[in-house]
A and B are shown apart, each in its own frame.
Chain A
């Protein structure tokens, strides 16, 4: 696979790892946050921590659009799917996420018409092919995915589809980062930035992190070599005393982002006044809803939803994991009450959740340690 395998080259990996070693300041411990769940997944899946020195600690951030959806919204999705005549189309990522009583997978087993799709366009096709059913697309994702939903809604409107709507849970990247940076004692030295979000928004939205909060920020691709390279660039900035936003993912993320995608989003969505984030609470202007011109396609307006705000179970510490305050294994219920098969929180069931990544990939005693 071109543009993929070259960036998984083990020899180049070793070269960059050696370079990282040479940039360490003696006696200094570095805490770097990778924001995006996809980066967390890659780090564990390729065993990158084996290639990084102990002095470089990776802290997992909140960039997992599945993880940050609060339980009440899952309950809403299940309520939608449970209705007579309704088909809920959603990404596979959502199927195991727990609501207050059950998951979408459980609801499907109990008879709800829930279909896993790869693309919002597949949901559109289901609506076209089943005019007698009310098809609702469960939209999730940061700015990476929102433009695709936007184009899908534009198409639905152009086709005057009467039986298609969107349950919109798109979120934006800047507000949660600000919320994190405002936390007292947020001891992160630098950020590995979300490469695919950057293909849409460019570098500009991240400039405040370097300018106002004094942290270097490197937008990174998702292959293991990209991540190591971004870490190298961060350490180089720290060694040089620089503090900038840099782009490691130049081959795919233009510095200016994608104006066409941004325009598509602006046409179809507007910012909600506030949105509840798991673990971070209410954050103003951090999520999208359909614009008035698309009211006919807004599932929240077409259907009545419970709309309850459901707090996480007492035992759940997903919020702390998402903020990077604790490591997955430091959660009180990690691996015991909360496992991938029976999860209490989203971090354990999202494909890119930090707890899932650690449990599925990182959970073993290294050589020389007692098991």
Chain B
């Protein structure tokens, strides 16, 4: 249920059957993009999608990804002290 990996749409290979060639770090696979045929139109070349069992099940929003990473990086208070305690408490 949970194994899904982001890939980028390279080309639509079969319009009728809604198949697109997607690239994941150099590995290519044809996936069905039919689940993303919404009112805004289907996927476009260059879109990032989440691939699960040979289907694109959702789009990956680059802006949201950046925003999440920025938020995490912003948790910056340097808890040097706390980090030490953290390492200490991991020894059960």
Which residues in A have some Cβ–Cβ distance to B below 8 Å?
1-4, 6-7, 12, 14-19, 21-22, 36-39, 41, 49-51, 53-54, 63-65, 91, 118-122, 141-142, 144-145, 147-148, 151, 155, 194-197, 199-200, 222, 225, 229, 232, 248, 250-254, 258-261, 264, 352, 366-369
- Among B2, B67, B83, which residue has its beta carbon within 8 angstroms of that of A222? B2
- Hey, what's the 0/1 contact readout for B2-35 against A, CB within 8 Å counting as 1? 1111101000000001000000110000001011
Tell me how many residues of B have a C-beta within 8 Å of chain A: 47
Residues of A within 8 A of B53 (CB): 91, 118-120, 141, 145, 148
Interface centre among B37, B61, B72 (most CB of A within 10 A): B72
Residues of B69-92 at the interface with A, using a CB-CB cut-off of 8 Å, are 69, 72-73, 75-77, 79, 82-83, 85-86, 89-92
> Can you list 28 A-B contacts with CB-CB less than 8 angstroms, sorted by A residue number?
A4-B5, A4-B6, A14-B83, A21-B85, A21-B86, A22-B82, A37-B1, A38-B2, A49-B90, A51-B90, A121-B54, A144-B2, A144-B4, A144-B57, A145-B1, A145-B53, A147-B35, A148-B53, A151-B34, A194-B2, A197-B1, A222-B2, A251-B64, A252-B61, A260-B36, A352-B1, A366-B92, A367-B91
- Among A53, A120, A259, A366, which residue has its beta carbon within 8 angstroms of that of B54? A120
Which residue on B lies nearest to A225, using beta carbons?
B72
B1 touches A119 (CB 8 A): no
B6 touches A366 (CB 8 A): no
Which residue on B lies nearest to A170, using beta carbons?
B1
CB distance from B40 to the nearest CB of A (A): 11
- Hey, what's the 0/1 contact readout for B28-60 against A, CB within 8 Å counting as 1? 000010111110000000001010111101111
Interface centre among B35, B48, B54 (most CB of A within 10 A): B35
Which residue on A lies nearest to B34, using beta carbons?
A151
B57 touches A196 (CB 8 A): yes
Residues of A within 8 A of B3 (CB): 38
Interface centre among B5, B17, B25, B57 (most CB of A within 10 A): B57
Q: With A4-B6, A118-B53, A366-B91 in contact, is A17–B72 under 8 Å at CB?
A: no
Residues of B within 8 A of A39 (CB): 2
- Among A37, A49, A261, which residue has its beta carbon within 8 angstroms of that of B35? A261
- Among B17, B79, B91, which residue has its beta carbon within 8 angstroms of that of A21? B79
CB distance from A134 to the nearest CB of B (A): 22
